[in-house]
């Protein structure tokens, strides 16, 4: 029996020098430089699909698209579709139907959820998205979801842009092939401020997900690091 491979997954996040990705009130804001934003679009230009959690698409005016014409030309030059597929993950289907991502219909929008989604929400999301895929009972079955993305939507390279709990789930299941981190010269502080990977965390050092540095460079006052398992 042939096994469908999953996509190559890379996470891209900006964080403060103290490891925070948002302030203590969990408001998503852009705190990186214009260079960091260009870096995000450069990375999106290498991916078949861009994925984010419901909180990310609800809390900020994002559409998960490829950006301007030069990035779309770069995609075409690499043999990719001009516009990437967009994937939203929400175990309970709590996605704002008025979120900006639904205003721009330039490429497919896919929603990954679970059996615990209420019927009314499922119906509403099916009217908004190109496809809603149920993967898992209480929590998202990411291996199944990723196989579906590869098999049904041709996703070979997937960019994940958070939030913290989505990242943590991918790390826990050892599904992250590459981690891109921009370290910004700010301190947010706050025990409630989210980090790159939230959720229950690992119970001991032995359970930590190991990574090694692939590259590190400085641009202005920011550090751009790439890690791999």
User: What's the pLDDT tens digit per position in 156-200?
Assistant: 999 999 999 999 999 999 999 999 999 999 999 998 999 999 988
Q: What is the spatial distance between Cα 184 and Cα 163, in angstroms, rounded to a whole number?
A: 17
Of the chain, the percentage scoring pLDDT greater than 70 comes to: 98
At 28, is the pLDDT very low, low, confident or very high (cuts 50, 70, 90)? low
Q: Which domains does the chain have, with CATH numbers?
A: 8-228 (3.40.430.10)
Q: Are 193 and 26 spatial neighbours (Cβ–Cβ below 8 Å)?
A: yes
Short-list 3, 24, 1, 10, CA closest to 158: 10
Q: Which residue has the tokens 């049904």?
A: 152
pLDDT at 4: 62
Q: What is the spatial distance between Cα 227 and Cα 229, in angstroms, rounded to a whole number?
A: 7
* Distance set, CA 56 to CA 78, 117, 143, 176, 227 (Å): 28, 19, 22, 19, 23
User: What's the pLDDT tens digit per position in 30-70?
Assistant: 889 999 999 999 999 999 999 999 999 987 788 999 999 99
Short-list 118, 66, 76, CA closest to 95: 118
Residues ≥6 apart with Cβ < 8 Å to 188:
16, 18, 20, 22, 23, 24
Give the DSSP H or E segment for 224.
strand 222-228
Q: Which residue has the tokens 């981690």?
A: 179
Long-range pairs for 100-106: beta carbons < 8 A, 24 or more residues apart: 100/57, 100/61, 100/62, 100/63, 101/57, 101/62, 101/63, 101/64, 102/128, 103/63, 104/63, 104/65, 106/65
| Residue 2 in this model has a pLDDT that exceeds 70 | no
């Amino acid at each position: 029996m042939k096994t469908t491979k999953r996509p190559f997954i890379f996470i891209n996040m900006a964080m403060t020098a103290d490891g925070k990705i948002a302030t203590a009130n969990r408001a998503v804001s852009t705190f990186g430089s214009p260079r960091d934003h260009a870096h995000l679009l450069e990375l999106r230009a290498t991916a078949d699909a861009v994925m984010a959690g419901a909180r990310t698409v609800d809390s900020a005016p994002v559409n998960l698209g490829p950006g301007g014409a030069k990035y779309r030309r770069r995609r075409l030059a690499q043999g990719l579709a001009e516009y990437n597929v967009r994937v939203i993950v929400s175990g309970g289907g709590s996605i704002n139907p008025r979120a900006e991502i639904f205003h721009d219909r330039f490429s497919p929008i896919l929603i990954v959820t679970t059996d615990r989604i209420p019927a009314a929400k499922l119906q509403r999301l099916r009217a908004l998205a190109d496809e809603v895929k149920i993967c898992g009972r209480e929590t998202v079955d990411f291996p199944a979801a990723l196989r579906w993305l590869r098999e049904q939507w041709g996703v070979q390279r997937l960019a994940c842009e958070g939030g913290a709990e989505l990242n943590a789930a991918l790390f826990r299941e050892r599904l992250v092939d590459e981690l891109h981190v921009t370290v910004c010269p700010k301190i947010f502080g706050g025990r409630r401020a989210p980090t790159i990977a939230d959720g229950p965390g690992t119970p001991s050092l032995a359970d930590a997900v190991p990574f090694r540095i692939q590259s590190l460079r400085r641009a202005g006052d920011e550090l751009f690091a790439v890690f791999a398992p």
